[in-house]
Structure 1
């Protein structure tokens, strides 16, 4: 996931933490994620050990890291471009914090993850960062939403950020 802890000259934002939102009451047993901890089998191991595999993995890692960093730069540039508007809304309401929703897509291009910026929305302002529960309700974060249907290789992601003055 891209690093969303960014700052502009007058504002700084960070990702929403579990303690910032209300727990979901309706969730029952979730999916079993133990398969993620299983070791790779011999076929995957041999594939990675082929000649040039280490170089390809390093190039892929570097490409993904640069691409992932581009989303963080995009969020920082958006924050710089909209900091006056955000500060005016906070001043008008008498609040000291705000909540953003960042929409981005993740696709695959020849085995490398490609992070594509979509849009950023100012969801509203709040008195303090601890009051994010007013805007980030379980219905907002986990409820149904209308979105475009991407192709099978692209997945849409949403990140919720809390910001405040520096």
Structure 2
């Protein structure tokens, strides 16, 4: 992958990050979670990437609750923390480490919860895949995002630009 393609993808990912962060700041409501997870998620909404990276592993190491409503809540905050950690790792230029966290966060039942948020996180995953020379997987993620008929036009144009840069 050429330097120009990497720079273009990074610029597009930065734009997606800015939109995501702006929308997250409007929505200050956090999921009910144990204190370590809450601290990691608050650091994430504040854009404190290094703090997220230091706090999230302790939250994810907590024993899982699998039964009933508490189990549903456990899966919700774990998914959110996985996505926050993955995003923070991408922001700190550690895309290889971010991939598994983003994939786990997107795979869980507590994925982002709306089309736009999921598309932004899938874009982040595709960027991480492309940055680690896993271009076929990155293309597949970008195409998966573009298959959503009700995707926000701004996100669609950013994803299209990233895909074009990847294919250049």
- Of structures 1 and 2, the one with the larger relative CO (CA 8 A, separation 6+) is 1
Which has the larger share of strand?
Answer: 1
Larger Rg: 1
Which has the larger share of helix?
Answer: 2
Give the structure-2-normalised TM-score: 0.24
Give the structure-1-normalised TM-score: 0.24
